[in-house]
Amino acid sequence: MRSLSHMLIFAASGILLASCATGLSTQRTTFTEEMAVKQTPAEWNQGTSSQAQNLSSLLALSSDKKLNTHVDAVLANNISLRQSVLDLQKAELERDKASGSLWPTLTFNSSSDRQRSKSAQGTSYASSVGGDLTVNWEADLWGKLSDRARASGRTLNASEHDLQAARASLAAQAMRNWVQLTALEKLADLDRSRISSLGNTEQIISDQFTRGIGELSDLEAARSATANAQSDLADRKLQIDQLKRQMQVAASQMPNTHFRTGSLLPNVKLPKGAMPATTLGRRPDLLAAYERAAAADLQHKAAYKDLLPSFSVNFTASDQSASLADLLNGGPAWRLLGSLSAPILDGGNRRLTAEQADLDAARLWLTYRQTLLTAVMEVENGLQNEQTLRSREQILGRALKHSQSNYEQYERRYRDGLTDIVTLLSAERDAFAARQAVVNIRSSRMQNRVDLAVAFGIGL
């Protein structure tokens, strides 16, 4: 009779397992991986220049030793980067914790007791020592524990890619800041040259006034232009000092203005990119987004498997004796228990949790899709910017020659009394504005090349 009841119980358990397995659906119902990766471009719309070079590292963009030394200092000391390293170590611990759930747990408990009793014969004492060893293990019947362990591994991979992306972004920002600071210092030199030139113009006007062919208003106009140029120089110095402090903080240094760059604007090489599939396959930000979405898919599967029955084994060995020696020498009593549990009524909480995991996975696949589109846009923008900035630099170079020649002609005509001071000051302002435009466009072009290298997935 007892064997028949056991057979009925196991048969019912088998039917329950089968019905749960067939009634469970872990198919994604929202945005999926297939939707996220579709329509990846086969080639870039914007062409690359024949001057582009194959570069193995962001540090190969420039041969400026001072620039690369600054980048090394930032990578070695930046506080945000060091925090990212700690985040990676934390992710490693989370991975190890998730992997540990696949293994049995072993627990040992010990106890000791001493009792005193009185009788007609006198007082007596009784001592006892006990111990029990318990082993618990949940069988991973449906692979949900493995899914969660794999999800933690994917999350760890994402953290590793995040660290690579942070290093590349930090190095690129350090390079851009260096180029920008060098350009600002060159612009400040131009401001000083303009102030000096305006001083010469004032002297010309003063000489004209002394000879009786000039007017006092001309001198006032020249002095006004000089004051405006001095104001521009003061503003430029402020920008320089603030950028220097920013660059020192990035290298975890106490901020001050004792920071020197090279006298020449660094020449940044034009990076040569690979085909879209290769480029997108090595961008750490895109790889991190993919790993997180894949981890969410695994969490989604594990959440649905929580609806299935679970099987666990519990083994306990225990003994109790009057002394520790007897405890170690004796044969302990033991018990082996296998249990099968399945959720029946829980208010739908587990299924709702599984559906939430589905939405979380969909959200992360949308994030991956957005990161993919942004990556393609950054490459296309960078390639187009290089073409446009190169063309503009050539145009502004010609404009500089014309404006400088125009200024020199008006200066001679003013000396001869053939033009007025307003025209001369306007020509002088245009000449210096053209010089500043050339410096700015050159700086923008070099910074764009750094951005393009990052967009191509060129790391460190």
pLDDT at position 291:
95
Distance CA 63, CA 418 (A): 51
Tokens matching residue 392: 């503009």
Is 341 a residue whose pLDDT tops 80?
Answer: no
Tens of pLDDT along 104-156? 777 777 666 667 676 666 676 666 666 677 777 777 778 888 888 899 899 99
Is 425 a residue whose pLDDT tops 50?
Answer: yes
pLDDT band (50, 70, 90) for residue 432:
very high
Choice among 182-196, 228-242, 307-321 with the minimum mean pLDDT = 307-321
Q: Best-predicted range by mean pLDDT among 253-257, 275-279, 400-404?
A: 400-404
- Percent of the chain topping pLDDT 70: 82
- Burial of residue 349, with CB atoms counted within 10 A of its CB: 0-12 exposed, 13-18 middle, 19 or more buried: exposed
pLDDT band (50, 70, 90) for residue 324:
low
pLDDT at position 21:
44
Tokens matching residue 184: 């600002």
Is 22 a residue whose pLDDT tops 60?
Answer: no
Is 215 a residue whose pLDDT tops 80?
Answer: no
Tens of pLDDT along 233-246? 999 999 999 999 99
Distance CA 37, CA 27 (A): 18
Mean pLDDT of the chain: 82
For residue 48, give the DSSP letter.
P
Distance CA 5, CA 185 (A): 91
**Average pLDDT for residues 327-355, to the nearest whole number?**
68
pLDDT band (50, 70, 90) for residue 15:
very low
pLDDT at position 4:
43
Choice among 123-137, 315-329, 370-384 with the minimum mean pLDDT = 315-329
pLDDT band (50, 70, 90) for residue 8:
very low
Q: Give per-residue burial for 240-275: e unless 16+ CB within 10 Å, then b.
A: beebbbebbebbeeeeeeebebeeebbebbbbbbee
Q: How far is CA 301 from the centre of its chain?
A: 28
Choice among 12-26, 89-103, 156-170, 184-198 with the minimum mean pLDDT = 12-26
Indicate the fold that domain 27-105+142-308+349-455 takes in CATH: Outer membrane efflux proteins (OEP) (1.20.1600)
Give whole-number Cα distances, 206 to 1, 32, 199, 308, 374, in Å.
Answer: 126, 78, 10, 97, 60
Give DSSP secondary structure letters for 263-313: SS------BPP--HHHHHHH-HHHHHHHHHHHHHHHHHHHHHHTTS-EEEE
**Average pLDDT for residues 330-336, to the nearest whole number?**
60
**Average pLDDT for residues 384-395, to the nearest whole number?**
94
Is 220 a residue whose pLDDT tops 90?
Answer: no
> Model-level pTM?
0.81
